[in-house]
Every structure is written in structure tokens, then in C-alpha cells.
A and B are shown apart, each in its own frame.
Chain A
Amino acid sequence: MQTQMQKNEIEDLKSALRKAELARKKAEQILGDKNFELHKTNQKLASTNKMMEALLNDQSTQLNAIVNNSSLGIVLTEKGNLIKANNAFKKILGYSEIELKKLTIKDITHKDDLFNSLKYIKKLENGTINDFLMKKRYRRKDGNYIICKTNVTAIRDAKGRLKYQVALIEDVTVSEQHVNMLKAINLLSVSILGKNDLFDISWEIAKNTANHLGLEDCVIYTVDIKKKMMTQVAAYGDKNSEGYTIKNILTIPIGKGIVGTVALTGKAELINDTTLDERYIVDCNVRCSELAVPIIVNNKVIGVIDSEHSEKNYFNKVHLDTFTNIANLAAAQFNNAISLLKEEASKTEKNKLLIKLEKSNIELNNFAQVVSHDLKSPLRSMSALISWIHEDNHYLFNHETNDNFEKLLKKVDKMDHLINGILKYSSIDKTNFTSQNVDLHELVTDMIDLIYIPNHFSIKIKTKLPTFKSNKFKLQQLFQNLISNAIKYNNNKKAEVIIDCVEKPKSYLFSIKDNGIGIDPKYHKKIFEVFETLEESDENSTGIGLSIVKKIITLFDGKIWLESKFGAGTTFFFELKKDTPKV
């Protein structure tokens, strides 16, 4: 029984063994599979790694390419030291990589911008800000300064502490200069607008140019073409202490020095290194670069704008362009000023002449008055004395002598006529020129009644003469002289004088027509001159009448002319304004 039992047990064991064997095999199988998988995964991992590596390499190259080819200067700094910089940065500042690594931000920052720069960096450090943007000036290796737009970003470690700073810089020097130049020109044009004093304009230009462009100095020279010299008229910088004075004004012959050359050639000069230019004249201090631009008016150099700088290579094309613009502006303003001065000078000259003329006119009139009166008195005495001698002795004289006495008296008469003529002529002037409403028709009608008119004469007024504002006395003199003339020079048996008037919009056109002896056209001008009479031995004619007429017409700002032929009568035309001029 036991055996059966044993047999059963053995069977059981065997089965268990088989099972175990099977399980082991299965486990082995699984392990093998796993191993394979692992291997595969390993292989995959390796290839991924390789890919990753390649990818990383690729990206780094790309980044480097971007960084190094960027037109922006890029620099990595750690605690103010320059760690890494791209090509653009090196190029902008002019340093090599090795040189840069020895420098700190402080070394390349303009001292005036350092304070602001540090202030921002502090904020980066204490975490108030993560980036900032500022415009600052960097010092190039050659010593010149450039203006850069600078964008700084903080790079922090895991704990948020500032580790690196990345700065992107863009050189805006030229555009900044352009802006400044434009601003300078604008401000300058405003400041010299309306100024017409050469001195004022020069000072404005010197001051504005130097200030707005940040120049060390600016000097304006004027050119004296006659003396072939040029003189400083305005100087900003070392040359002036304060206000509008120049210390030790420099005078340079045209053609000498750089400024003198510009004055001679009319071409601007930009000198990068004055120590190499033998023309350079030392003014106050030796300066290494110079810019001189001519101010040209009407193709002539009238001045030069000059600036010098202690550094070599300071001035660039932008400066030159700006100076040229300023010179053009100055030229225009100077031209205005000069023409204004000329105009003013000629105006004052004219006024002076006018006053002088008026004075001499008054003097002449007074002279004529005084002399005439002084002549009149002795003439009266003479006349009396002649009369007395004649009266007392006429029975002693023969016929001829008595006759001569009569002739003598007639000459005295003639003399008196002439003196009266001069008196009348010289008394027609602006004084006593009052105007009131004058009824010309009444005036002329009354006059015709009063003056002597021979019987065979007819005087007609064709249309009613107007009433207008004028000077009664002078109008009377005017018509009286013309009518008297018309009567005097008429030997026609049916003599007539016709007075007429035509109204025009702003004036009256009068005409006095006679049928008398007429006047040869060649005398038409001459007859208005003083003492011109056409008949030589005319006792009654003084040659004053028509010159008085002319003088009155001139005083009234009117016109007079005549139409006449010898032997065919004369018509005098004259035009008087309705509004008498204010005298």
C-alpha cells in the first residue's frame, strides 16, 4: 500500500519537477527577451544620443553664426568683466577679443554715462528689473566716442542671482549726429530769424553751432574784400570769456592759413590732422583737427565758419554737411541783413537829402524874399530921386535928355516887375497851404470881371466849373496867370479865350484855349522855366507867369501841358486831383 502511495508521491514530484523545469525555461526565455530588448534600447539610446549631440552641435553653430554675423554688437559680461563678444562688438569698438577680455565695462564707458549705467546694473543685481535700454557713449580704441543704443538683459542662476549680463549694442552715432545737426540747424534758423545785425547773427551762429553740436569751439570770420583780410567777429569756446567779446581778435590775410585758404577758394576744408598741415595757424591752443566752411553770398566769400578740435579725426562728413547747411543759412541771413542795411542806409541818405533839399529850398525862398525886398526899397528911392531931378531941372534939359529920363524910369519899372515876379514865385511854397471848399466858377467869374480885358476880347466859360477842396489863393494865381497870358499874347481881331473843364474819376481836367499867336512846339517845355520869355524886348513880360503856374501845379501834384502851333492859338491843359495832396 505504501508503494502505491509512494508511486503517487513520485509521480507528483516528477510532475512538479517538470513544471519547475518548464518555468525555468520560460523565465530564461523572458530574460533572454528582456536582454535583447535592453540591448535594443541601448542601441536606440546611443543613436539618439548621437543625434542629440549632432543636433546640439548644429544649434551651437547656428547660434554662433547668428551672434557673429549680427550687425548688433553682442557682449556677455560677468561682474563687469567682458567674457565674450561678437564680431560686431569688436568692430564697433575697434578692439580684438584678447584686448576686450582685459577690459571692464567701466573702461569703455564715457565717464558722463557711467553713473546712469551703474544705476541700472544695480537694479539688475537686486532683481528690481530684468533688462534695461539706454543710450550711452563708448570709448573706442582710437579714443573717439560713439553713441550706442544698449539693451542689457540679466541671466540668473537657479537661485535667481545675477550671473551674466548680455548686452546688445547698436551704433547710432551717425543717426544721432544727424538728428543733432538737424536740431542745431533748426534752432539756429529760429534764433537768427529776423535778426539783421551782422554781429548778432554771427554770435548766434557761433554759440548755437558749438552748443548743439557739442564742439569745443566755433569761430565766425568776416572777409574784407578791399583790405584782403579776414577778422573774427564771433567766437564761442576758449576765445570768448563771457558775453559778446573776443579775446585777442585774430586777423588773417586772405589766402593764409586754413581759414584764409577757404576764403580764397570758396571750398570747405576738413583737416583730420592739423599737425600734418603746414597751413595751420595756432590761435589759442594747438588743436588737431579743423573744419572750415565758407559763407558765400552772390558768388563771393563773405565769411568763414571755423571749428577746431583737440582730437585728431574729430570731424566727419556729418559735421561737414551740417556746417555747409549752417553756412547756407548764414549766407541767406547775411544777405538779408546786408540788403536791409543798404536799404536803410539809402533810406537815411534819402531822408537826409530830402531834409537838406527842403532846407535849401526854404533858404532859397527866404533868400529870394529878403533880397527882393531889399532891392525894392532902393529902387523906390531911385525912382523918387530920378523924378525929383527931372522935376527940378526939366526946363534945363533938352528934349533928348528928358526923353532919356522917361526911359530910365521905364527901366526902373521893368526892374520892379522882375523883383515882384521873383517875390511871387518864391512865395509859392508849402507854407500857408490851407485848403477849403473853393467855388472855382465864382472865383474865375469874379476874376474875369476884375482883370483888364480889351473890348474886342471875349472870355467864355464853356461848362460850369466845379467846387472842390483846394487852396483858393493859389487857384486864383493859377487861373489869373493863364488867362492873362492868353490875353497878352493875342492880336487876333476876334480874340477869344475858352475855359473848360472835364470831370474825371479822381481829377478835373481843365483847358484854357485861345486863338492867339501860338507857341512853337520847340518852346513848349522852355516856357515853364523861370525868366523865360519868348519876346525879347517885351516891357511887360517878366517870364515869371508860367513858371508860377508850373510851380502851383507841381505843388498840387497835378500835370500841365499844352497844344499849340505858332500862329494857330494855344490850349493849355492841366489836371488837378479832386483831393488836394496833404502838404
Chain B
Amino acid sequence: MRLTILLVEDDEIELLKFKKALNKINSPIKILSAKNGEEAIQLCETSLPNLIFLDLKMPKMNGLEFLSLLKNNEELKSIPAMILTTSNNHNDINNAYKIGIAGYIVKPLRYDAYVAQIKKVIEYWCINELVKR
């Protein structure tokens, strides 16, 4: 089963980092990416990803706005979305959980640590029934 993951992130290097990290995991994963909330919603509707990783700070439509839109959409609201951000601000965390998220990951500084975290998360979702459908 091929996992389709949508990364909503405006920073190119972060996207590269994410892709590189997933390359190190030996499982077939399809990566979709969107630079902001608007693009992301469109992608969700056309491609229906299994998992969404979401940055909070983005131009046009920010992470929380996109999340609200997603959770209010009957077709899309069951897609698990996880926050992948540098912010460990209490308000951000609270607000994200209020709207509905499957996880909140604060990006570690070191690349190695980042890869390790992403790996764990992907592995978790790979054994998850929901994603398998």
C-alpha cells in the first residue's frame, strides 16, 4: 500500500528536508506539496492524501485557517493532519488541538533528530488501520 502524504510548507529547503528524510525510510511514499492553504485544499480535493503535514506560518492562508477549512469539509475532515512547525507557543498548540489535529511536532534543530522524528511518525501511521483503509 502506497502512502500519499501532503506537506503544506512554503519553505523550499524545508520541503527538500522532508523529502530527504522520507527517502531514508524504506517504504513507498508519494509526496504531494503545497505552498499555502489554498493550494493545499485543492490538492486534497483532487488527490485525497492519507496524511497531511502542516506548517503553521504560511503566506495567504496560514496553517490554522487551512485546518479549519479542512475540518469543516465533510469529505476531507477524516484525513489526519499533523502540525510540523518550529513554534512551541502554547496558544498555537491549544488552538490547533481545538480545531482538530492528529499530532503536533516541533521541528528539532538538528537534521539527524529531525529525520529520526519523521521516521517514527511515518512508521506509526504505516501500521495504522485508518491509513491502510
Contact = CB atoms under 8 A, between A and B. Distances in A.
A427 B92 CA distance: 12
A373 interface: yes
Interface stretch (B28-36, B41-49, B61-69, B107-115): B107-115
Given A377-B11, A377-B57, A383 B109 contact: yes
Contacts of B114: 380, 384
Given A409-B110, A413-B109, A416-B109, A381 B14 contact: yes
Nearest to B88: A423
Given A373-B57, A385-B13, A380 B109 contact: yes
Contacts of B95: none
Contact of A377 (B86, B89, B90): B86
Residue among A377, A384, A409, A412 having the largest count of chain B Cβ atoms under 10 Å: A384
Contact of B17 (A384, A412, A416): A384
B87 interface: yes
A387 interface: yes
B33 to A, nearest CB: 16
A383 B86 contact: no
Interface string B102-123: 0000010111101000000000
The majority secondary structure among interface residues of chain A is helix
Nearest to B94: A432
A369 B89 contact: yes
A553 to B, nearest CB: 20
A385 B107 CA distance: 15
Interface residues of A, number: 20
Nearest to B16: A384
A527 B13 CA distance: 39
Given A381-B13, A381-B14, A384-B114, A412 B86 contact: no
Interface residues of B, number: 19
Contacts of B109: 379-380, 383, 412-413, 416
Interface in B117-131: none
B62 to A, nearest CB: 12
Contact of A388 (B89, B91, B111): B111
A413 to B, nearest CB: 6
B17 A381 contact: yes
A178 interface: no
A416 B110 CA distance: 10
Interface in B58-90: 86-90
A388 B86 CA distance: 20
Contacts of A377: 11, 14, 57, 86
A380 B87 contact: no
Interface string A356-386: 0000000000000100011011011101110
A432 B107 CA distance: 24
B86 to A, nearest CB: 4
Given A383-B109, A412-B109, A427 B89 contact: yes
A376 B14 contact: no
Contact of A384 (B13, B87, B90): B13
Contacts of B90: 427, 432
Interface string A149-193: 000000000000000000000000000000000000000000000
B86 A376 contact: yes
A423 B114 CA distance: 21
A438 to B, nearest CB: 18
Contacts of B111: 383-384, 387-388
Given A385-B13, A387-B112, A380 B89 contact: no
Q: Which 9 A-B pairs have the closest CB atoms?
A: A387-B111, A376-B86, A381-B13, A384-B111, A416-B109, A384-B17, A377-B86, A373-B87, A380-B107
Given A383-B111, A409-B110, A413-B109, 10 more contacts: A376-B86, A377-B11, A377-B57, A380-B14, A380-B107, A380-B109, A384-B114, A387-B112, A413-B110, A432-B90
19 contacts: A373-B89, A377-B86, A380-B114, A381-B11, A381-B13, A381-B14, A383-B109, A383-B111, A384-B13, A384-B17, A384-B111, A384-B114, A387-B111, A387-B112, A388-B111, A412-B109, A427-B89, A427-B90, A432-B91
Interface of B: 11, 13-14, 16-17, 20, 57, 86-91, 107, 109-112, 114
